[in-house]
Amino acid sequence: MPRKIECVFVDHPDEEGRSKKIIEILSHAIFKTLKEKGLLRKSPTREKRLEDTLKEAREIRLRLKEDAETDCVDSA
């Protein structure tokens, strides 16, 4: 039986970028599951919301990456 993910806490990534990897794995798994179940193209509204969500996820990943790079520069 599949597990339901209630919440994921992602703090600042460590040196290996583990938090970033977790986000990538989760977003890929969510996208793959939605695609397999045929939920990606149910309605234009849902598709637009999904596109917005994916865009927001990309922006968050970019901000996390920038924060990690800034933290590395600050600590150097």
10 domain-assigned:
no
42 domain-assigned:
yes
6 domain-assigned:
no
Q: Give the three-class secondary structure for 54.
A: helix
Structural domain of residue 51, as residue ranges? Answer: 16-74
Q: How many domains does the chain fold into? A: 1
11 domain-assigned:
no
Residue 25 has pLDDT above 60, yes or no: yes
pLDDT tens sequence across 31-57:
888 878 777 665 667 777 888 888 898
Instruction: Show the tokens assigned to 61.
Output: 């990943």
Q: Tell me, what's the pLDDT at 30?
A: 82
**Residue listed under structure tokens 């040196």:** 15
Entry pTM: 0.36
- Check: CB of residue 72 under 8 Å from CB of residue 20: no
Instruction: Show the tokens assigned to 2.
Output: 């599949």
37 domain-assigned:
yes
